Amino acid sequence: MFQTKPRYILILACSIFLVFGMFNAAIGPVLGELAEQTGSTLAAVGAVITFLFLGSLVTQLAAGPLTDRYGQKPLLVTSLLLVAVCLPAFINARSLPLMLTLVFLTGMGQGGLDLSANLIVSSAYPKNNTSVLNLLHFFFGLGAIVGPAVVSLTLVTLGSGLIVHWLAAAVFLALGIVVFTLRETRPDRRPQTEHPEGTSSSVKRLYLSPILWLVCVLILVYVGVEYGSGSWVTSYMGVTTGMAKETGALITSAYWAALTVGRLGGAALGSRISRLRLLLIAIIGSLVGAVLLTLGRGTVGLSTSAFILMGFSYGTIYPTSVGVMVAAFPRDQGKAVGMLTALGSIGGLSLPWLAGVLLENGSPLAFTLFMVAGAVIMLVILLFLGKLFNKDYAA
């Protein structure tokens, strides 16, 4: 744990997530520009989203156990510097293979940022982590509002929407320097040497727990539909309503704005209702939004309202699920949250790409039904979780 006041840790983590959200949400609106830059189709360049999450997956599979053993600072510093270097290189690549390689490395850094920020906040606020984690992810949403809006502005004024990625890289570099100067208490590894059998048994119980895998699969689906929706809002509105991409980028900002407000709602309700009840409300809302999107195809007002409702409902799902993992596995937080973020990356590397293929090569109806199916799957998983959880975990 970092040797500084909890509020400073929260400020640091929120700053990371603010910029994290900026560059993530700004990828979707510039996919067309990246396609022109590499001479690729929109569907082909959409693979940058897949490779971004593939890189995250590689880091998250390894980093959870390593942070439990060596601490959080090495991973956080390395991740910040990796993104700071690889992000501007990725957006300037002129061939698709090179771009995908660089975005994979950027994703490796992204995976470390995601895991580290969640863990340092959970460690700083162990008694109120659901509300504080929702607040942390609120800043991701805030950045996601700013990112597409800056893309829209720079497309109009400069003819390019890539400036936000340059800004994000510069801030990550500065934050990496700040984190490097902080001191961290190294994890106490004596229990692992004095009681190896107990440690082995604890790890075995963790990886055999149905709670772990149900929450992880829920997050896999969630990240796929949430990022799939946000990444293709601009293209979807263009295909179904003929909306200009500059205006579509603003609809993308509205989607992420709604997600941000949803996380504020999660922060407010996190100490008042159970985690599972909060997840139930959010998933039902996302289902209603997906159905509205299906019924409102080709209508600007209904489609915009649907994306806003979906974004609002999605807002609290990820941070509240992290809170569930921390409560369920307090002695193996790094491993549990690492597995959760890894499964989220699997969803991010596969499902948004599939959503784009459905939109471009299938039909808008196939795209919207994909969102409906995702919400239904999450609801079914949550019902199974409700049967497994005791009141201590759900509270």
Show the domains of the chain with their CATH numbers: 7-185+200-394 (1.20.1250.20)
**Could you tell me which residues are beta bridge partners of residue 2?**
184
CA nearest neighbour of 342 among 197, 180, 223: 223
In angstroms, rounded to a whole number, what is the distance separating the alpha carbons of residues 44 and 61? 27
| pTM of the model as a whole | 0.76
CA nearest neighbour of 54 among 354, 353, 346: 346
**Where does the chain have alpha helices with state H?**
6-25, 31-38, 42-45, 47-70, 73-91, 96-124, 129-157, 163-181, 190-194, 196-208, 210-241, 245-269, 275-295, 300-314, 317-328, 333-357, 364-388, 391-394
Residue 259's pLDDT is what? 87
In angstroms, rounded to a whole number, what is the distance separating the alpha carbons of residues 313 and 307? 10
**Could you tell me which residues are beta bridge partners of residue 321?**
none
From residue 352, alpha-carbon distances to 80, 96, 102, 326, 377 in Å are 25, 18, 19, 27, 16
In angstroms, rounded to a whole number, what is the distance separating the alpha carbons of residues 325 and 138? 19
pLDDT tens for each residue of the chain, 395 residues long: 566 788 888 899 999 999 998 888 788 788 888 888 888 887 788 788 778 878 888 888 887 777 777 777 888 899 999 999 999 898 888 889 999 999 999 999 988 888 888 888 888 887 777 888 989 989 987 887 788 888 888 888 887 778 888 888 999 999 999 988 887 665 554 444 444 444 556 677 888 889 999 999 999 999 999 988 988 898 899 999 999 888 888 898 789 789 889 989 998 887 788 889 999 999 999 999 999 999 999 999 999 999 999 999 999 999 999 988 888 887 788 788 888 988 887 887 788 889 988 988 889 999 999 999 999 999 999 999 988 876 444 44
